[in-house]
Homo-oligomer: A and B are copies of this chain.
Amino acid sequence: WYGEFFPDIPKIKYEGLNSTNPLSFRYYNAEEVVLGKKMKEWLKFSVAFWHTFKADGSDPFGSATKAWPWDKEKDPLQASFKAMHANFEFMSKLGVDRWCFHDRDIAPEGATLAETNKNLDLVAEVALELQKGTSIKPLWGTAQLFKHPRYMHGAATSPNATVFAYAAAQVKKAMEVTQLLGGENYVFWGGREGYQSLVNTDLELEMDNLGRFMKMANDFKHSIGFKGTLLLEPKPQEPTKHQYDWDAATSVAFLHKYGLLEDFKLNIECNHATLAGHSCEHELEVARINGVLGNIDANTGDAQTGWDTDQFLTDPRMATLVMAVVVKNNGLGSGGINFDAKIRRESISTEDLFYGHISGMDALARGLRNAAALKEAGQLDGLIADRYASWKAKGGLGQKIINGKVGFAELEKYALSNPDPGSSMASAKQELAEIYLDMATK
């Protein structure tokens, strides 16, 4: 036993809206039923191991600011065991039963790949042991293919074929460990799969190699009988100038091109969405209508900064719009809601870790309640149904178009013999729609 890491923090409880206790939930009530499912089913929350236990507060202009109790160990393996214990204590107190990890965050790199794999096995055993008798398991695992210098030019997209091989070996192992731990998904975020400059880059070869890599990953998944969902995580840039999985649409194009659209889904991160110039709900919708909405990395960026701040999503309006898409998708399948979010560099107390997660859980629970209220009120759905009525009317022009019964020639005839639609336009009623949205945003 490694001792208690958060001795002053009790189990966080739902106390309702009137609570002034910051160590309580005011919205998140795990067992409460909303739209026919428990909140904890809609909101399969996950703690991100790296941000919560390994982020040390360093940034491009500053060194580490945090001195977490689980980091005081000198031996790297012991430190890893300690951090894993802290993770389970944290989840238990928070009432969350999913976690996400990179291979290299949970276990230290050794002198050789074989040794590194061994380290990973040892830590995985600890995690497995800790999971026993609980409902805890990984929401997803992944391989960290961006931090080590060997990946400086890319992993699957490295100009060096040996690096591709090394990355393949690492993903293979990470997927095995994810399977071992009962992980429900496996994620690919290509932090170095992109370029710094087109001047010295063979874009075509690099993207083709990325396609080859993903195909191998999918083949491997099937070869070991791993049942989890494979997820691409789009991000437009940072650390590279331009990443290959820029956004949801780019990722869909990629999956199409390399014949992988049936085998992968997307992990949408809100901060990545806004860095790509989209709202988070846009990215979620693009994934949803393409049948690839797999998971949400719930965080938010600063609306005025051009880099990934990975803050907890606490804005009620944004949470409502996010959860409205989840409701429309009837949940996230094998996916969940991972807090890919970190407390600020200047937040250096362990209790800040709780404040951050509580604020994120409560915001999304609030968003879920609002999304449910919106749906139950039905005003907004009614407004949309009215707006698109001409496409639904039986035997009408809209249905003929949809059913492929008409072409340009027929449509020209129709246009020539009917009144110009410009003479009877309807309002888009966006302001009214926003009032309906607002009525649900409690």
With a CB–CB cut-off of 8 A, which chain B residues contact A135? none
A92, CB-defined interface residue at 8 Å: no
CA gap between A290 and B211 in the complex, in Å? 14
Q: Does A285 contact B (CB under 8 A)?
A: yes
In the assembled complex, which residues on chain B have CB atoms less than 8 Å from the CB atom of A192? 61-62
CB contact list, A28-62 vs B, under 8 A: 57, 59-62
Tell me, in angstroms, the Cα distance from A315 to B279 when the chains sit together: 15
Could you tell me if A388 and B433 are in contact, using CB atoms closer than 8 angstroms? no
Tell whether, in the assembled complex, residue B425 and residue A149 are in contact, meaning their CB atoms are under 8 Å apart.
Answer: yes
Q: In the complex, identify which listed stretch (A1-9, A121-129, A180-188, A411-419) lies at the interface while the others stay far away.
A: A411-419
Closest 5 A-B residue pairs measured CB to CB?
A: A306-B306, A150-B422, A346-B428, A253-B253, A161-B398
Please name all residues of chain B whose beta carbon is closer than 8 Å to the beta carbon of A191 when the two chains form the complex: 61-62
Within A142-182, the residues touching B (CB, 8 Å) are 146-153, 158-166, 168-173
A256 contacts partner chain B, Cβ-Cβ < 8 Å: yes
Q: Number of residues in A with C-beta < 8 Å to the partner?
A: 157
A270-286 interface (Cβ within 8 A of B): 274-279, 281-282, 285-286
Query: Which chain A residues (233-250) contact chain B, with CB distance < 8 Å?
Result: 236-239, 241-242, 246-247, 249-250
Q: Which segment of A69-77, A196-204, A330-338 sits at the interface?
A: A196-204
Question: What are 21 sample pairs from A and B whose C-beta atoms fall under 8 A apart?
Answer: A57-B152, A61-B146, A148-B422, A152-B348, A152-B428, A161-B397, A161-B398, A164-B411, A165-B415, A166-B415, A199-B434, A202-B387, A205-B388, A209-B402, A212-B404, A242-B304, A252-B257, A316-B317, A347-B429, A355-B434, A355-B435
CA distance A432 to B347 in the complex (A): 9
Please name all residues of chain B whose beta carbon is closer than 8 Å to the beta carbon of A397 when the two chains form the complex. 161-162, 164-165
Task: Report chain B residues within 8 Å CB of A404.
Answer: 212
Shortest distance from the beta carbon of A43 to any chain B beta carbon, whole Å: 17
Question: A164 contacts which chain B residues (CB < 8 A)?
Answer: 397-398, 401, 411
Contact across chains for A387 and B279 when beta carbons are under 8 A apart: no
Q: Please state if B427 and A352 are interface contacts (CB–CB under 8 Å).
A: yes
Are A384 and B20 in contact, with the CB atoms below 8 A?
Answer: no
Complex Cα gap A240–B290 (Å): 22
The answer to whether B344 and A430 have CB atoms under 8 Å apart is: yes
Q: Which of B236, B250, B253, B390 is in CB contact (< 8 Å) with A162?
A: B390
With A200-B430, A305-B237 as contacts: A147 and B425 at CB distance below 8 Å = no
